Amino acid sequence: MISLNSAFISNKPTSSCRPGKRITFVQPICSLNKRNSGIALSSTSSTDRNAETKSKRTVKVKAENTSAPVEPLQVNATTETIDSDQEDDLKFTVGIIGFGKFGQFLAKRLVASGHKVLATSRTSYDKVAKDLGVGFYSDIDDFCEEHPEIIILASSIPSTEKVLTSIPFQRLKRNTLFVDVLSVKVFPKYLLKRVLPPNMDILCTHPMFGPDSGRGSWNGLNFMYERVQIGPGAYRQRRIETFLRFFRDQGCRMVEMSCEEHDRQAASTQFITHTVGRILGAMDLKSTDIDTKGFEALLNLVNNTANDSFELYYGLFLYNRSAADEISRLEAAFKSIKKQLFGRLDNIAREMLLGSAVIEAEKNSSSSNNSSDSGIGKQ
């Protein structure tokens, strides 16, 4: 065994590379300290030293401090060419925090796509996780010790801050990618930026579907995302693109927009949908023998919203500034429609009681008074 103070990687393609697939690195890559690097190179015998360029060396990396966040070996490069087929083959260890209905919903597809999936949650889901092929950890410290490259935050909206601040970040890789899938976006965006260590990556997303609407194909279903914080390096770029490609390959319609714009639009779409569904649900609507297609659609809306917890609905209201405005608009619209209906009904009732001649006389009298008032104002 010999120790070197510097190491170089050739820019020649390795034997495992197919034609057209080359990674070019700028030399030198790193400087190794003889005493503290923890890296040793095993060389061939002295008789082969004159043919050093042909010798094979094995690099062994040993972590100096196991309590510190784990960081994959970083390589500084000015040029890096990766074939798209090579990116498609990338698979990651994906951790899911919050293994309720939506966490399980995502895990099933991720496992089917070849990713290794881990999960942790306040409630024990050992059996469900085992059936899905997911590794479940009741202790979040043990979960983090598995060093998932990607962590999906799938907690309920109100519990998100408590869950996030309980994560032992020092047990994770320094450049871990955090992905939130909450139904509101401004709140988690700034929470993640405030709580996460600054060198971790942040991707805010909202799959605009769930276990019910996405039970079958995801083809054509909207997937919103914003790249909030992505550090330098080709690995980190490939990782986030691979994650997004997973949803694209499932058939999702990818929509890149800011979290702020998402909340403005979602208040008048998703929140109103949930609100109307809950209002109709409170009316206890039932199917009949003569249902129209429109009524069947309303019943489906009631069923879909009823399957979501009130905690989710309350989160859509509390953590989206635009939601209260939409409630006011909905209330004003209802009052306007009600006024039109009962206003016309009042006129019909009065005609029946007083006769059309009396009603017409009152209208003419009112019109005459308005004209007189207008003339006085002009003088």
Average pLDDT, integer, range 29-42: 39
Give the C-alpha separation, 86 to 82, whole Å: 7
Give the C-alpha separation, 361 to 379, whole Å: 28
User: Does the N-terminal peptide bond of residue 28 adopt cis geometry, omega within 30 degrees of 0?
Assistant: yes
pLDDT-based confidence at residue 171 (cuts at 50, 70, 90): very high
CA 154 to chain centre: 8
Average pLDDT, integer, range 315-334: 96
pLDDT-based confidence at residue 1 (cuts at 50, 70, 90): very low
Q: Look-up: residue for tokens 């905690």?
A: 311
pLDDT of residue 208: 97
pLDDT in tens, 133-162: 999 999 999 999 999 999 999 999 999 999
What structural domains and CATH numbers belong to the chain?
Answer: 6-61 (no CATH), 84-263 (3.40.50.720), 269-326 (no CATH), 333-371 (no CATH)
Give the C-alpha separation, 47 to 150, whole Å: 47
Average pLDDT, integer, range 227-236: 97
Question: Residue 369: pLDDT above 80?
Answer: no
Average pLDDT, integer, range 39-54: 42
pTM over 0.85: no
Q: Which residue has the higher pLDDT, 49 or 207?
A: 207
List the single range of 32-36, 194-198, 200-204, 287-291 with lowest mean pLDDT: 32-36
pLDDT in tens, 10-21: 444 444 444 444
pLDDT-based confidence at residue 372 (cuts at 50, 70, 90): low
pLDDT of residue 80: 39
pLDDT of residue 350: 72
pLDDT in tens, 183-220: 999 999 999 999 999 999 999 999 999 998 999 999 99
pLDDT of residue 233: 95
